[in-house]
Structure formats: structure tokens, C-alpha cells
């Protein structure tokens, strides 16, 4: 038990360090951005004193290092500042939109894994046969699809041609289907391939032969010995794939006018609104780090060997 | 004649490769008697492990059992359904493998893995625990209580092999197959494992099929020995008989290649040439190309196992009709 | 040996199909002016025209030939993708070798940096970088490289760690060869096949990222024919002129699929057990 606690503690420390490092990175990028944020924010008619006052209020008259700590302090109090373009509190904006993004990525993750794991297992059991080949080709094609085009195709088929699903925006659960599929299908390929290759690797392991030699029946060996070991990296990937999925969500949300963070981020970028951009990157980073830590913890629980590393 | 535990007749295992069909086990026949230790020896790749896997029906694609009979307890195992064969494994025939680290599942505890096999028979957990516990003590593992909760990577290689032996003996099978049980272990630990197997087979009365390339182990533990070469069983007999009067030229060369303390020359002999490609269709004896006393008929007709002395079988044209061959 | 390689290639259908798709793209890139009936910026009075013999994939809202724009767009997609992969290979391999070879604190630092880059969704970090540097094809290439070198580092590092302990490399050390000479003479040659595999597999994802950035309006600007941009412009006309989105979409799938299959084939040939 001690091993696990020490292991988790180590991961937590690394996670905090990563978050801090990312804040430095975001801050550096924003510093390097062309144009003074306050000049962008205020009207040209505002007097120079007023500008100085605002800068002092934000700590922008101080050297960058001090500014960084001001900014960091605000962030950890949950204050991401005021959006330049929307004139709204960024914390509120994110809080409004985060649930939609989580809903979309969550639904996509579920679809992805519910399809990929059984298909991967099936392909492995039928290795080199027609089922395996057909599945492999299908997933490579899906993997090569830009999500935004897949989204457009699904829209054309289900919303315009068949008119069974809403075209875009959010109008209840039903509008989740197309964006979630768009996000899940290309990502599915990776999990499918991982499951397939892990199952094949584990089936070659001697301990699987041992299990058969002990007189355990085929179904039990596949579940208790093969899947149990093969799914360790797959489960870990469940958590590690989040950043890619959120990245994909930014694009997909824009295709479907989904009211999530991705669309907000895109608006922020289009309007050069760095307050929004840094706030969103920070939130996403925290989410990712949390998921990474959970992933590491799960792998520690599932695989007793890892705890010793 | 003593009762036979298992009687293998003309067992054939083929591997379908791109280069053609490899006859990894080619019409191999032998039997093992009650309480006996039978050793199958030969170079790596000669088909001895494949024979064992064939008996257990654990051959994996691209390999298939293409013929033969395996009589065990009055039935032919090769004719059993998959479900019936599952019941034979572990319960009636147990098997341990070469590398004890790979052979135990890394994510389950020692105790859990021992109990898993026992609980196949609808045994309750408590009873299974007790049997596993006693068995671990029998294989001389100290501090059994905490070992039951250990994971395989937490214990040493020798201890893992003891666990494997215990795991396979705890259901008291009539036959235990040990595939190179000591090869992956340190020399100092090997002797302990062999001694343990010797003790346990006396206690539990299981017959043992041991697969090895080490004649030292054969001398230590086996009653009878079969020598395999390139998929064929070429000589079978009592250990003392084979050691004292090896008949097949391959066996003789194998004996000469053994390091012994009494040997006066400083160098070990080697057998010239290499094992033939088993994917090629060939006539005659598989050993003909390397044989120091090859006869013309050796390249035409395959020799069959014939009794050359009481209980001593040899597949060699030199032995047919008691011809006097070059020494 | 050579014969076996040849047989292997002929048996490897993925590799063959990938190569065909790939060479078709290369031909299009080279001969774009000959294939395209119009230039990419040429406007006509026929706006949002349906596919016809004059405009095989129709026209957009400015009356530009979609087919010609997509043909010229291959130049942008491929050049941005290739430049991005070259940069990320240089960064990733260098850091991987340094971390794997020197180990200890340097290794820890590199590992920490890679972990950190994995913590920000690559496309989002790339968006921030382009935002910082300004929208242009070059900046997109740089941004993609900056966010995707970590894969190279992780795999190269692991490979170098195992190479480092080979006896001939240890022998070279004992003979007093400098680190640089050991890396160049013994380690790098052993990494060639791994690097080739990683680079061929990185190209399709770089191209996908390029088009995603273009879709979001970051990248080559009008009237440059960026595939992602053509597609995102087409979405508003999805009901009246769905053909606008077809040509760029097909072009992206063709190219990315071709490179993916090629990459898989190369991996199968050089190192089938490499986990990417």
C-alpha cells in the first residue's frame, strides 16, 4: 500500500510542476504577442494617465517577472481577467462553456472506447482473416479523415439529406450525436490498433499458455488473463488521449457551432483576445494534467510492476 | 509390464510456413509408465517441446496436430472435444515451462494464481487457500503467508519455478510435463529444483515427462530417456542402458559432446554440420548428412524404431540385422 | 536478400497502394499549372456554379474554380507538412539523443519538457503560437513542429538508451572517442530506420494539422488556396453548394491516407515491432 501512496505523491508533485511550467509558457507567449494588451483594450481617446492607472491596476507597469506572479496569483484565485473583445469576465465565460465541451468530449470518449475495444479484440482473435483486414482498412481511412470534413459529410447526410438530426448548435441531447461521432470516429482508429496489438502481444505471453495448462477454459483465459493485461495500456490511453480529443473538439465545435470552449477559443484567436486564449489554455492544461495523473494512478493500480519504478 | 500412464502413437505436428510445411514432430511414439520419469532430450529445435505442447494440445497457429494418437486413461486425447480437453489440463496433466518469470501472470498474486486452478473444480475459496498454502510449504517456500500475497516480480527466479511446480502439482495430476524447468535458472538453483521434483514425484506419485538438453539432469532424475533429432524420435531406452550402450550415431556423438570430469582430453567434441531444413521433402534418415557412418540406404529409406536390446529401441539402419558397424 | 525485399514489397499491399496515392500527389504538386484549368485566384462571373465541364468541382462564392484551387492547394499542404516534419525531426531527434545518451539530470529535464508539451493539446498550443507570430504558412509549419516533436524524442531516447550499452559503443568510449564522434559514427546510423519510420508517419498528421489550422483561419491567407480554408468557406454554402466542400475533403483524405499507408508499409518493412 505504501508503494502506491508514494507513487501517487510523486505523480502529484510532477503534475503541479507541469502546471507551473505551462503557466510560464503561456505567459511568455502572451508577452511576445504583438501589441500592448491595454492599448488594445482601451479607447484611443482615453488619457495617458488613465492608461497608466489601468496598467498599474493590472500590475502591467512592473517588470515581467512581477507581472507573472500577479497574473498567477489572480489565476489561482479563479480570476482570469476581463475579455478584451467581449468585455465579460473570462472565468464566467469559461464556466458557461466548459460543461458543453466536457459533454462533447465525454460522449466522444465513450463512443470511441465502446466501439474500439470490442473491435480490436475481434480483429486480434481473427488475425489476418477478412474481418481483421476489413476493420484495419476502415480504421486507417477514418484515421486519415480530417474531422471537420467528416463533420460536414455527416451533416450533409443526416441533417440535410435525411433531415433526422439537427444541423448545428445545441438543442438538447439529440444535437450531441453528430459532433460526438465526428470527434470519436477518427480517434477510434488509435484505440482499435492499440487494443488489437496489445491483445496479440499478450496472447503470445507464456502466462497465457500457463493458464491454459492449468485447465482454465478459453473464455475465462481471454477475459481474466488476456484482456486483463491487454487493457492496461488501453485504459491508460483513455485518460492520456484527452488533450488530443479536446484539440479535436476545438475544430468540431466550430463545424457544428457547438457552444463550447473551442468556439470561444476560436473567437478569442480571431479577435486576438489573449485574455480568453490564456484562460482557456490554462483550464485545458489543468484538465489534462489531472487526467494524466489519474491515468498514471490507474496504471499503478492495474499493473503491480509499475509501482516499483 | 507396468501400467502405462500415457501412450503416444505416431504423433505428428506440422507448421505451415511460407517456406512450406515444417514437420516439427514426425511420427513420434513413446509411452510413460506410472511413477516413471521419462526424459526427452535433443538439441533446441528438434521438436521435443513441440511434442509436449502437442500432448497438451496447446499448439498455436501456424502449427497443427496432423496425426497420431495420445492414449491417456483409456481414451485418445486427440479425439476429445475442446471442453473435455480443458478438463484434462491441470487436473490430469500439469505442465511447467522454461522461464518462470514469463510463466506467471504479472498482475495476479501467487496465491491467486495457485487458487485459480483449484477453483476450476467448484472448490470453495477457503479450501483452495489451504491447499495452495500447504503446497507452497511442500515446495519449500518460506514465509508462505506473505508469499501468497506477493506478485511474481517480487520473488526470485528459483522461487517462481517452485511456485510453478506447486501450482501444477496441487491438483495431483497423473502426469507432470516439465519443459526445460531449470534452463533459465542459475546453476546453483538448478540442483535444488531437480531435487525438489525428485522428492515430490515420490510423494505425489505423478509420472513426469521432462524435456531437457542437459544429460546431467537426465542422469539425476530420469528412469528412461528418448532422444529426438529433427522431429524424429531416434532412440529410447533405460537411462543406464542409453548411457552405457548408446546405439544411434547421433546419441553417441551427443554423449561425446558431454563434459565429464573423467574425460582426459581438454576439448569437447562437437557434431559437425547443421540440422536439415525440415520444410524440404526428404527421403531417408534426417541425420544422414551429419552421420559419420552413413550407409547408402540411409539416404533412401527412413529407418524405423526397432528393438535392439530389451527395452532399448533405436531407429538406425546400422542396427538393422545387427550389422557390425564402424566404431 | 534483395529478392526477398522485393517479394516483401510486392506482398505488402498497404505499401503499394500508399505509394500509388503518394506518387499521384507528388505529380499533382509538380505539374499543378498543367493540370489545373484555371489559376487559383482567377475569378469569374459564375458564382457558386455547380460542377460542369468548365469547372469540374464547381466554383466558390467569388467564382473561382474549386478544382484548380484544390490542385494548387496541394503545394501548400505538402510544403507546410514537409517543413514541419523536418523541423520536428531535428528538434525531436537531437533532444532524444542528448537525453538518452547523457542520461541523469539532462534526461530528467528533457523528459519534463516532453511531459509538459504532452499536457497541452497540440492543436491549441499551435493556435496560440500562430496567434503570437501571425498567420502565415511558414508560421503554421513552425507551430506544428514546436508542438509535435515530443513523439520523436520519446522513441529516439528509448532507442539510444539501449544502444548506449552495446559493447562496441562501450569499447569506443574506453578507446577515448569523443561523445560527438560516438553519436555520429555509431548511434546515429542505428537510428536511421527509426527516424525514417517516425518521419513518414509524422507527415500525414502534420498535413492534417495544417488543414485544421487552415480550417480555423490560421495559415495561408486569401487568395492562397489552403485546403482547410476552402472547406471552411464552403460550410456556409453547404445547403446550396455542397460540392465546394467535396473536392478539398477528398484531396485531404487522398493525401493523408496515402502517407499513412506508406508510413505503415515502411514501418512494416524496417521495424515491425516499433511501437508508435
Strands (E), B110-248: 175-179, 207-212, 224-229, 232-238
Number of domains in chain A: 1
Of B127, B151, B171, the position where a domain reaches its end is: B171
Closest chain A residue by Cα to residue C242: A156
Structural domain includes residue A287: yes
User: Cβ separation of B104 and A207 shorter than 8 Å?
Assistant: yes
Structural domain includes residue A68: no
Provide the CATH number for the domain around residue A143: 1.10.3720.10
DSSP A202-236: HHTSHHHHHHHHTT--HHHIIIIIIIHHHHHHHHH
Q: How does strand B75-76 pair with strand B93-96?
A: unpaired
User: Cβ separation of C242 and A160 shorter than 8 Å?
Assistant: yes
pLDDT in tens, B27-60: 899 999 988 999 999 888 888 899 999 999 998 8
Residue B94 pairs in a beta bridge with B176
Distance of CA A192 to the CA centre of its chain: 18
The yes-or-no verdict on residue A212 having pLDDT over 90 is yes
pTM of the model: 0.83
B195 and B55 both lie in a single domain: yes
- Taking the CB of residue B208, how many other CB atoms lie within 10 A of it? 24
Is C48 strand, coil or helix? Answer: coil
pLDDT in tens, C189-233: 999 999 999 999 999 999 999 999 999 888 888 888 999 999 988
Could you tell me what percentage of chain C is helix, strand and coil, using 3-state DSSP and rounding each to the nearest 5?
Answer: 75, 0, 25
pLDDT in tens, B250-303: 888 888 777 665 555 556 667 777 777 777 777 788 888 888 888 888 888 888
A246 contacts on C by Cβ (under 8 Å): 121, 124
A51: enclosing H helix or E strand: helix A48-58
CA quadruple B295, B300, B301, B307: dihedral, nearest 10: 0
User: Cβ separation of A214 and B107 shorter than 8 Å?
Assistant: no
A303: left (phi over 0), alpha (psi -120 to 50) or beta: beta
Confidence (pLDDT) at C21: 93
pLDDT in tens, C104-122: 899 999 998 888 887 788 8
Under CATH, domain C2-32+64-274 is a member of which superfamily? MetI-like (1.10.3720.10)
Kindly state whether A144 is in contact with chain C, defined as any CB-CB distance less than 8 angstroms. Answer: yes
Of A54-63, A131-140, B290-299, least confident by mean pLDDT is: A54-63
Confidence (pLDDT) at C88: 95
Of C120, C127, C129, the CB nearest to A22: C120
Number of domains in chain B: 2
Average the pLDDT over A31-45 and give the result: 65
Q: Which domain holds residue B135?
A: 106-171
Structural domain includes residue B99: no
What percent of chain B is modeled with pLDDT above 70? Answer: 93
pLDDT in tens, C225-274: 999 999 988 888 888 888 888 989 999 999 999 999 998 888 888 887 77
Structural domain includes residue A134: yes
User: Cβ separation of B107 and A216 shorter than 8 Å?
Assistant: no
Provide the CATH number for the domain around residue B213: 3.40.50.300
pLDDT tier at B1, thresholds 50, 70, 90: very low
B113 and B153 both lie in a single domain: yes
Long-range interactions of C111-116: CB distance < 8 A, separation 24+: C111/C157, C112/A14, C112/A17, C112/A18, C112/A21, C114/C150, C114/C153, C114/C154, C115/A14, C115/A18, C115/A292, C116/A18, C116/A21, C116/A22, C116/A25
Structural domain includes residue B98: no
In a mutagenesis test of the C interface, which of A22, A24, A145, A146 is the best target, namely the one with the most C β-carbons within 10 Å? Answer: A146
B225: left (phi over 0), alpha (psi -120 to 50) or beta: beta
d(CA C157, CA C100): 4
Q: Are B142 and B156 in contact (CB under 8 A)?
A: no
Closest chain A residue by Cα to residue B167: A214
The yes-or-no verdict on residue A254 having pLDDT over 60 is yes
A244 contacts on C by Cβ (under 8 Å): 121-122
Q: Are B252 and B245 in contact (CB under 8 A)?
A: no
Confidence (pLDDT) at B260: 60
pLDDT in tens, A265-292: 988 888 877 788 888 888 888 888 888 8
Q: Which residue has the cell 541425420?
A: B287
Structural domain includes residue A61: no
Angstroms from B259 CA to nearest CA on chain A: 32
pLDDT tier at B193, thresholds 50, 70, 90: confident
CA distances from A241 to A227, A236, B235 (A): 20, 9, 59
A277 contacts on C by Cβ (under 8 Å): 127-128, 131
Structural domain includes residue B305: yes
Average the pLDDT over C169-173 and give the result: 84
DSSP category for residue A82 = B
Structural domain includes residue A81: no
Q: Which domain holds residue A179?
A: 90-308
Structural domain includes residue B101: no
Amino acid at each position: 500500500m505504501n508503494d502506491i501512496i508514494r507513487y501517487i505523491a510523486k505523480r502529484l508533485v510532477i503534475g503541479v510542476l507541469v502546471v507551473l511550467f505551462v503557466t510560464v509558457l503561456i505567459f511568455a507567449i502572451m508577452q511576445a504577442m504583438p501589441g500592448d494588451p491595454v492599448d488594445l483594450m482601451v479607447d484611443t481617446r482615453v488619457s495617458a494617465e488613465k492608461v497608466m492607472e489601468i496598467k498599474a491596476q493590472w500590475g502591467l507597469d512592473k517588470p515581467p517577472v512581477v507581472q507573472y506572479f500577479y497574473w498567477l496569483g489572480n489565476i489561482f484565485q479563479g480570476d482570469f481577467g476581463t475579455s478584451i473583445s467581449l468585455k465579460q469576465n473570462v472565468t464566467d465565460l469559461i464556466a458557461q462553456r466548459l460543461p458543453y465541451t466536457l459533454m462533447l468530449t465525454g460522449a466522444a470518449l465513450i463512443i470511441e472506447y465502446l466501439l474500439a475495444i470490442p473491435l480490436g479484440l475481434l480483429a486480434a482473435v481473427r488475425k489476418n482473416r477478412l474481418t481483421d483486414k476489413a476493420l484495419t482498412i476502415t480504421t486507417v481511412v477514418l484515421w486519415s479523415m480530417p474531422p471537420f470534413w467528416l463533420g460536414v459529410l455527416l451533416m450533409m447526410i443526416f441533417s440535410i439529406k435525411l433531415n433526422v438530426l439537427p444541423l448545428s448548435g445545441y438543442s438538447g441531447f439529440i444535437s450531441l450525436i453528430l459532433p460526438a461521432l465526428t470527434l470519436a470516429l477518427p480517434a477510434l482508429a488509435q484505440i482499435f490498433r492499440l487494443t488489437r496489438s496489445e491483445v496479440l502481444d499478450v496472447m503470445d505471453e507464456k502466462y497465457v499458455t500457463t493458464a491454459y495448462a492449468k485447465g482454465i477454459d478459453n473464455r475465462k483465459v481471454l477475459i481474466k488473463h488476456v484482456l486483463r493485461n491487454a487493457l492496461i495500456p488501453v485504459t491508460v490511453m483513455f485518460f492520456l488521449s484527452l488533450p488530443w480529443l479536446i484539440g479535436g473538439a476545438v475544430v468540431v465545435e466550430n463545424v457544428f457551432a457547438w457552444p463550447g470552449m473551442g468556439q470561444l477559443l476560436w473567437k478569442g484567436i480571431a479577435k486576438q483576445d489573449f485574455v480568453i486564449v490564456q484562460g482557456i489554455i490554462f483550464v485545458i492544461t489543468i484538465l489534462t494534467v489531472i487526467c494524466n495523473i489519474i491515468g498514471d494512478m490507474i496504471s499503478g493500480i492495474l499493473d503491480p510492476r509499475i509501482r516499483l519504478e | 509390464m507396468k501400467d502405462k500412464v500415457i501412450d503416444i502413437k505416431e504423433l505428428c505436428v506440422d507448421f505451415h510456413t511460407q517456406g512450406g510445411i515444417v514437420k516439427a514432430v514426425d511420427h513420434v511414439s513413446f509411452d510413460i509408465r506410472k511413477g516413471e520419469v521419462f526424459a526427452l532430450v535433443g538439441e533446441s529445435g528438434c521438436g521435443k517441446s513441440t511434442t509436449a505442447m502437442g500432448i497438451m494440445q496447446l499448439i498455436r497457429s501456424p502449427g497443427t496436430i496432423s496425426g497420431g494418437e495420445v492414449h491417456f486413461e483409456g481414451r485418445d486425447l486427440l479425439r476429445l472435444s475442446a471442453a473435455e480437453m480443458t478438463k484434462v489440463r491441470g487436473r490430469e496433466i500439469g505442465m511447467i515451462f522454461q522461464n518462470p518469470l514469463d510463466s506467471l501472470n504479472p498482475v495476479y498474486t501467487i496465491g491467486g494464481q495457485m487458487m485459480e486452478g483449484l477453483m476450476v473444480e467448484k472448490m470453495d475459496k477457503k479450501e483452495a487457500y489451504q491447499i495452495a498454502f500447504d503446497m507452497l510449504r511442500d515446495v519449500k517456500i518460506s514465509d508462505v503467508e506473505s508469499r501468497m500475497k506477493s506478485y511474481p516480480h517480487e520473488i526470485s527466479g528459483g522461487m517462481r519455478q517452485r511456485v510453478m511446480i506447486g501450482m501444477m502439482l496441487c491438483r495431483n495430476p497423473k502426469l507432470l510435463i516439465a519443459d526445460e524447468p531449470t534452463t533459465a535458472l542459475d546453476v546453483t538453483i538448478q540442483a535444488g529444483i531437480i531435487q525438489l521434483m525428485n522428492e515430490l514425484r515420490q510423494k505425489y506419485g505423478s509420472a513426469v515427462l521432462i524435456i531437457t538438453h542437459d544429460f546431467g539432469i537426465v542422469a539425476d532424475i530420469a528412469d528412461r530417456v528418448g532422444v529426438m533429432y529433427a522431429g524424429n524420435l531416434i532412440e529410447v531406452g533405460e537411462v543406464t542402458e542409453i548411457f552405457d550402450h548408446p546405439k544411434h550415431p547421433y546419441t553417441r556423438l551427443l554423449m561425446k559432446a558431454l563434459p565429464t570430469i573423467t574425460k582426459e582430453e581438454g576439448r569437447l567434441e562437437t557434431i559437425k554440420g547443421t540440422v536439415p531444413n525440415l520444410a524440404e521433402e526428404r527421403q531417408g534418415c534426417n541425420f544422414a548428412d551429419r552421420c559419420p557412418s552413413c550407409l547408402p540406404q540411409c539416404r533412401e529409406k527412413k529407418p524405423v524404431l526397432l528393438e535392439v536390446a530389451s527395452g532399448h529401441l533405436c531407429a538406425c539402419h546400422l542396427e538393422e540385422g545387427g550389422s557390425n558397424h564402424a566404431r | 536478400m534483395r529478392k526477398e525485399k522485393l517479394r516483401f514489397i510486392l506482398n505488402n499491399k498497404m505499401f503499394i497502394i500508399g505509394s500509388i496515392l503518394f506518387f499521384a500527389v507528388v505529380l499533382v504538386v509538380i505539374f499543378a499549372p498543367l493540370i489545373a484549368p484555371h489559376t487559383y485566384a482567377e475569378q469569374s462571373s459564375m458564382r457558386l456554379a455547380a460542377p460542369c465541364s468548365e469547372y469540374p468541382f464547381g466554383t466558390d462564392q467569388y467564382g473561382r474554380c474549386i478544382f484548380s484551387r484544390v490542385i494548387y492547394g496541394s503545394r501548400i499542404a505538402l510544403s507546410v507538412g514537409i517543413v514541419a516534419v523536418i523541423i520536428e525531426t531535428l528538434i525531436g531527434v537531437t533532444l532524444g539523443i542528448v537525453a538518452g545518451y547523457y542520461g541523469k539530470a539532462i534526461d530528467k529535464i528533457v523528459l519534463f519538457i516532453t511531459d509538459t508539451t504532452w499536457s497541452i493539446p497540440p492543436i491549441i498550443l499551435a493556435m496560440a503560437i500562430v496567434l503570437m507570430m501571425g498567420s502565415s504558412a511558414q508560421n503554421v509549419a513552425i507551430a506544428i513542429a514546436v508542438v509535435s516533436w515530443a513523439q520523436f524524442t520519446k522513441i529516439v531516447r528509448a532507442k539510444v538508451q539501449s544502444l548506449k550499452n552495446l559493447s562496441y559503443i562501450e569499447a569506443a568510449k574506453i578507446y577515448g572517442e569523443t561523445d560527438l564522434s560516438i553519436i555520429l559514427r555509431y548511434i546515429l546510423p542505428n537510428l536511421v530506420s527509426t527516424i525514417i519510420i517516425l518521419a513518414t508517419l509524422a507527415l500525414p498528421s502534420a498535413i492534417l494539422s495544417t488543414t485544421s489550422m487552415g480550417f480555423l483561419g490560421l495559415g495561408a491567407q486569401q487568395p492562397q488556396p489552403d485546403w482547410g480554408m476552402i472547406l471552411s468557406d464552403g460550410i456556409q454554402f453547404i445547403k446550396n453548394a455542397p460540392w465546394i466542400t467535396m473536392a478539398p475533403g477528398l484531396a485531404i483524405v487522398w493525401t493523408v491516407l496515402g502517407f499513412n499507408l506508406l508510413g505503415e508499409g515502411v514501418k512494416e518493412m524496417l521495424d515491425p515491432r516499433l511501437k508508435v
